[in-house]
Every structure is written in structure tokens, then in C-alpha cells.
Amino acid sequence: MLGNRLVLSVLLFSALTGGCSASYIRMGSSVPLMGPVIGDTFILNVTLSNSGDEAARDVMVSLITPPGGISSEPVFVGTLEPNSGVLAQFKVAIPFKTKPGTYPLIIKTAYADANAYPFSLLDIVFDLVQVYAAGSNAPEGGH
């Protein structure tokens, strides 16, 4: 009998308060493949999206690259509203000391929810950046 009253109380409370629902943030990113040449500085476009039903606040995007090679500065996006997207542009430098080869790229997206609780997302993009030596057979658009 006590169990039935407890269940009834929970159901009644849920009905009176509008049910039990939680907001969520679902972040994602996409990046086109690149073929830069050693010594180049280029713009890398990263498309961020929030397919959740709550805004992502204080969104900061950064690229994590192998040490001593490809470098860029983080990009502050601000607030990313639900069901929206934004283009983050990184100025990326390929130093002359970088060896030709394929480099993985990790996109780190840090953000907070409405309660200022911090979250982060790591998107690992393998073999994204194929770096070519100057004068080599870099693909079209790679320089």
C-alpha cells in the first residue's frame, strides 16, 4: 500500500510540474581535408554545430596538433544556440622545420551549459593534414 502511494505521489508531482525532461547540448564539428605545403600559412575552416535543445555558452575551439609542427591559436565562438551552427576559422602555420607526412588533428571544443557547468568534446580527425614539401606534387588547392 505504501508503494502504491509513493508511485502515485511521484506521478502526481511529475504531472503538476510539467513532467521530467532534461535539456541537452549535442556538439559536433566537421573539417575539410587539407594539403598544405611546408612554410605555408592557411585558413582552416571548422564547422561547429549544436543539435541539442539548450544553448552552449562560452564556446572555445582549439586545434591539438603534434608538438613542434603545425600551430594555430584558439577561436572563441561565444554562445551557440540550439539547432544552429557556426564557422570557426583558424589561421594555421606549417613551419619550415615540419617534415613532410600525414598529421592527425584533434579539435577540442570547450563549452558550458546554462548552469555554467563546463564540458569539452574531442573530435579526432585522423590523417587530416597531409603536409607536402615545396615543389612536390601537392594536390590541387593544397597550396
Q: Regarding beta strands 41-50 and 56-64, do their DSSP bridges make them parallel or antiparallel, or are they unpaired?
A: unpaired
Query: What was the pLDDT predicted at 22?
Result: 45
Instruction: Give the pLDDT band of residue 124 (cuts 50, 70, 90).
Output: confident
Which pLDDT tens digit goes with each residue over 25-79?
676 666 665 667 778 888 888 888 898 899 999 999 998 887 767 778 899 999 9
Share of the chain above pLDDT 70, in %: 62
Please report, to the nearest 10 degrees, the dihedral formed by the alpha carbons of residues 102, 94, 65, 90 taken in order: -120
CB 108 within 8 A of CB 64: yes
Whether 4 has a pLDDT exceeding 70, the answer reads no
Q: What angle do CA 87, 125, 74 make, to 5 degrees?
A: 45
Q: How far apart are CA 23 and CA 120, in angstroms?
A: 17
Whether 117 has a pLDDT exceeding 50, the answer reads yes
- Structural domains for the chain: 22-131 (2.60.40.10)
Query: What was the pLDDT predicted at 32?
Result: 63
Query: What was the pLDDT predicted at 118?
Result: 93
Cell match 613532410: residue? 100
- pTM > 0.75: yes or no: no
